[in-house]
Amino acid sequence: MSSEVQVHVGDLLQSSTTTYEVLDFSGEGIFGKVAKCRDSVTSELVAVKIHKDIEDDSTAGAHVFVLVENH
């Protein structure tokens, strides 16, 4: 059973160590979304890959990647 990832701009994503504010989305696909977020503790900008399991929502999750600015 497929489900839609329900995350919107302005939402707060909680991890075990910090909270991320969703600022924008970089992309979306069948397996989830990539959100541009701000770490509420450090103000660092990060990309959060929010993924879902197509068959079982109980394994949905997220991965956090630090955004690197190219100079």
pLDDT number for residue 30: 81
Domain region containing 22: 12-66
Kindly state whether residue 39 falls inside one of the protein's structural domains: yes
Kindly state whether residue 62 falls inside one of the protein's structural domains: yes
Averaged pLDDT of the chain: 76
Kindly state whether residue 56 falls inside one of the protein's structural domains: yes
Enter the pTM of the model: 0.70
Kindly state whether residue 33 falls inside one of the protein's structural domains: yes
CA distance 3 to 50: 13
| Backbone phi and psi for residue 70, each to the nearest 5 degrees, phi listed first | -85, 135
Kindly state whether residue 5 falls inside one of the protein's structural domains: no
CA distance 66 to 45: 7
All residues at 6 or more sequence positions from 12 whose CB lies less than 8 Å from its CB, including other chains: 19, 20, 21, 22, 40
Tell me how many domains the chain contains: 1
CA distance 56 to 1: 7
Model confidence band, residue 55 (pLDDT cutoffs 50, 70, 90): low
Kindly state whether residue 25 falls inside one of the protein's structural domains: yes
Kindly state whether residue 44 falls inside one of the protein's structural domains: yes
